[in-house]
Structure 1
Amino acid sequence: MSRFWSDHVNNLQPYVPGEQLAIENLIKLNTNEHPYGPSPKAIAAIKQAANDSLRLYPSYDAKGLRQSIARLHHLEVENVFVGNGSDEILAHIFSGLFLRGGRPLLLPDISYSFYRTYCRYYQVPFEIIPLAEDFSIRVEDYTQQRDVAPAAIIFANPNAPTSLLVELGDVERIVKANPDTVVVVDEAYVDFGGKSASGLVKQYPNVVVVQTLSKSYALAGLRVGFALASPEIVAGLERIKDSFNSYPLDSLALAGAQAAIDDQDYFNEVRKAVMDARDELTKDLQGLGFTVLPSATNFVFAAHPEHDAAHLQQALKERGVLVRHFSQERIQQFLRITVGTLAQCKRLTQELATILERNAE
């Protein structure tokens, strides 16, 4: 607390990221980073861009990157908005699309915690919609008629941290039932088992699809995200961007991101490797007695009926393996475990087997 802070700063509750520890031989399975490196073509493009031209400002409109994204999703450049990671994209969305006459934003009770952080920061009125008992999103909760239409609906699909997927047909039902409401589908993990809602963008002017290159493209360190939406929504987001930071993506990020998007062969190869490792990890955890929710992401959400999740997390940490635990009600007995390489996953399950055996003594 400081007497120099603005009035609202003292009441902020910032997002808390996963631990970042500098420990030798640490296995880091707590922040959903890709276990394999980015496309070699992306690295080559970054190296090539690291030259004397860095004295110049980067591309103002990021047109090359936007063209590659548009081509991949069968859209037009005018449908694409890019920014410094999907978190910045979401920040502009909360600021630019959710403050509409005091109408509430609807969001699930268990989802990406940054949503509530942004609600507090931008003073967005919101209403929490509980997930079903099995942690799935009940589509009917978002399609029922209300006296006042919500300003917006937002949900992660697949959801984080539960890893569950809403099928594309159900996403369309929500979008179609709310024509005067912005529906934001946050698809950070969609490439690991879902079908993107990007195909709805041309048909429905109220849908916004948000994606990131941090997960499936293994570029978390580059900070690149994008939104797919109607030209009128993209134009609004551009107005927000240009009132905040006209150059959110540097030249290296633009070069690396475009090369990664264009290298779909490598993308699909390593994506499949992660999905295969996820299936193997799920079987191994189930063999140890864990309940594992069906995952369409690069992580699994698992609970053991006889062992406290917080204690398991701490025991793993003491053995050099980081996983994520949330103290939030309803999910405090679950661990969110990033899918690593096959060797990393085997090490995790071996350590868990030892911990469970010792706890049973």
Structure 2
Amino acid sequence: MSRFWSPLVHTLTPYVAGEQPALPDLTKLNTNENPYGPSPRALAAITAETTETLRLYPDPTAHRLREAIAKSHGLDANHIFAGNGSDEVLAHVFQALLKHGKPLLFPDVTYSFFPTYCRLYAIDFRAVPLDDTMAVRISDYRQPCGAIILPNPNAPTGTALPLTEIEALLIDHPDQVVVIDEAYVDFGAESAIPLVAHYPNLLVTQTFSKSRGLAGLRVGFAVGQPPLIEALQRVKDSFNSYPLDRLAIAGAVAAWEDRAWFEDKRDRIVATRERLSAALRALQFEVLPSAANFLFARHATLAGAQVAAELRSRAILVRHFPKPRIHDYLRISIGTDEECEKLLSGLADVIASLKK
């Protein structure tokens, strides 16, 4: 606390990022990073960009990247907004599109940055409870609101809605913006991007941090009809005209165009996820169905905080959220097969020691 703080700072409860410790021999399964790293083509493009041109500002519109993304979806570049990670993109979305006279709706168990943004930007919101299976129920969103934002797949649960339900939500709310945050969509869900041409109230956000293995580069984007994209650009240019540097633009374009690398690593992660899910069930875990690169699971008899602490003492990190409804769940990122075997071995040891 300081007498120099503005009144707003006193009211904030900041987002808590996943732990990034420097522990020896660490098995790190807590922040949903891609275990296989970025495309070699992306690394080569980043290296090639490290020339004297770094003295020049980057393209403030990131046109090459926007054009590459748009082309793959049969759209024009004016349907794409690019930013410094999907968190920055979402921050602009909250400012530009989600503050209205009625409350913003999102799930009660979801990406914990959503209420943080609402407090930062003084946006009234209402958290809509997940159903008893920890899934989003679209019928619960048939209520007056200013806008809606849903992750699909949801985080941290990993559950996903079919595209038909997303479209039903858009039809139910023709006068409200509906934002679908697709950070994990590549691992098993249906993208809503094909609906963008038909629904002027739809905005879809995605990231290069997960399926493209570029969490350290910070690149995200949004897809929507031009009036929504213009709103984001107006906010961006009132905040930071150059959110993506030259290295980020070059690396992201190369990663996006390396479809073979993307598909191979995605398929490996999905296969490992299914094997890990079955193995966790054999250890008496309840595992929610996941369309993401993580699993959300709780043990039949052991407290989540205790299991997470015991794993950490064995240099194995998973994510625990000490929050209502989910305090006994662990969010487990999908690592390599070797990392997941270390996790399973560690869990077997933890379970045996805690049951003594």
User: TM-score range, shorter-chain basis?
Assistant: over 0.9
* Superposed CA offset, 1:236-288 (max 9, x none): 11000000000000000000000000111100000001001101111111111
Amino acid at match of 2:198: Q
Percent identity of equivalent pairs: 50
Task: Map 1:195-234 onto structure 2 (within 5 A).
Answer: 195-234=190-229
Task: Map 1:97-176 onto structure 2 (within 5 A).
Answer: 97-100=97-100, 102-142=101-141, 144=142, 146=143, 149-176=144-171
- What does residue 265 of structure 1 align with? 260
Distance 2:208 2:74 in 1: 18
1:61 CA drift (Å): 1.3
1:340 CA drift (Å): 0.2
- What does residue 72 of structure 2 align with? 72
Task: Map 1:1-361 onto structure 2 (within 5 A).
Answer: 1-100=1-100, 102-142=101-141, 144=142, 146=143, 149-361=144-356
1:104 CA drift (Å): 1.0
SS of the residue 1:214 aligns to: coil
* Superposed CA offset, 1:81-134 (max 9, x none): 00000000110010011122x211011100000000000000001111111010
Distance 1:135 1:75 in 2: 35
Amino acid at match of 1:52: E
Amino acid at match of 1:261: W
SS of the residue 2:7 aligns to: coil
Distance 2:211 2:76 in 1: 23
Distance 2:279 2:194 in 1: 36
SS of the residue 1:50 aligns to: coil
Distance 1:358 1:61 in 2: 55
1:75 CA drift (Å): 1.5
SS of the residue 1:121 aligns to: helix
* Superposed CA offset, 1:148-176 (max 9, x none): x4221001100000010011110110011
1:3 CA drift (Å): 1.4
* Contiguous gaps of at least 5 residues in structure 2: none
Count of matched residue pairs: 356
SS of the residue 1:86 aligns to: helix
Amino acid at match of 1:183: V
1:5 CA drift (Å): 1.4
Distance 2:238 2:353 in 1: 57
1:358 CA drift (Å): 1.5
- The runs of at least 4 consecutive aligned structure 1 residues that moved more than 3 Å come to none
Distance 1:30 1:74 in 2: 35
Distance 2:73 2:17 in 1: 30
Distance 2:5 2:243 in 1: 25
Distance 2:74 2:123 in 1: 33
Amino acid at match of 1:84: N
* Superposed CA offset, 1:306-328 (max 9, x none): 11110000000000000000111
1:37 CA drift (Å): 1.1
Amino acid at match of 1:128: A
Distance 2:283 2:73 in 1: 41
Tell me the TM-score normalised to structure 2 length: 0.99
* Contiguous gaps of at least 5 residues in structure 1: none
1:74 CA drift (Å): 2.0
